[in-house]
Amino acid sequence: MKRIGILGGTFNPPHTGHLLIANEVRHECGLDEVWLMPTAIPPHKTTSGDATAEQRLTMVKLAVDDIEGLRASAFEIERGGVSYTFDTMSQLVKEEPEVEFYFIIGGDMIDLLPSWYRIEDLLKIITFIGVRRPGATNTSELPIQLVETPQLDLSSTLIRQRFLNGGTVQLLLPPAVEAYIREERLYESSRRSK
């Protein structure tokens, strides 16, 4: 049976931290692949300079293009709307019965896991892998496989700010993603409107 990890997120933009977590978890847990799956509609309010769902998916594809065992998944974007993890994973499990799915979450999400929609049902169909994070309790009464990864304090918000303010993003995200952002002129609309 194939073992696949799912790393969901906004990926606005995808950065080195996302790739590090996906790669470390894949190797540590013996997964065949990790799919980076952008959400269709980000859970936060978007601004005029944010990337569209299609642009975020393109950036994820560029980010994982030459990394063995990592791939981009358009699953939630193709479904559209806001997706609960239970709905997404239920559909994936039905469509891919020969796959054992693992859902990767950060330490901050481990703390919130008991409040997730249909968490008990979700635990019956997937395994959670939690990535320890500084400042989070990283503990749960729920069954979670914890993984230690190198810590990289990096966020998409920081990278968007760097683009907006003309700061360096070198080594914070893959060169192909940086080139795409500059070509599409993402994250700079606030600066242009001044």
Q: Note the pLDDT of residue 188.
A: 80
**Does residue 9 contact residue 39 with C-beta atoms inside 8 Å?**
yes
Of residues 47 and 62, the one with the higher pLDDT is: 62
Q: Note the pLDDT of residue 148.
A: 86
pLDDT tens digits, one per residue of 112-135: 888 899 999 999 999 999 998 766
CA distance 64 to 66: 6
CA distance 164 to 161: 5
Q: Note the pLDDT of residue 161.
A: 92
Give the pLDDT band (50/70/90) at residue 70: very high
Q: Note the pLDDT of residue 136.
A: 65
Tokens, residue 120? 């008990």
What's the rounded mean pLDDT across residues 33-58? 80
CA distance 133 to 82: 26
| Average pLDDT along the chain | 88
pLDDT at residue 191 tops 50: no
- Domains of the chain: which residue ranges? 2-192
What's the rounded mean pLDDT across residues 95-119? 90
Q: Would the pTM count as exceeding 0.85? A: yes
Of residues 45 and 32, the one with the higher pLDDT is: 32
The highest-level CATH class for domain 2-192 is: alpha beta
CA distance 137 to 158: 24
What's the rounded mean pLDDT across residues 81-93? 89
Dihedral angle of Cα 167, 59, 57, 123, to the nearest 10 degrees = -80
Share of the chain above pLDDT 90, in %: 61
Q: Note the pLDDT of residue 120.
A: 93
Q: Note the pLDDT of residue 49.
A: 62
Q: Note the pLDDT of residue 139.
A: 72
pLDDT at residue 150 tops 90: no
User: How many Cβ atoms are within 10 Å of 112's Cβ, its own excluded?
Assistant: 12
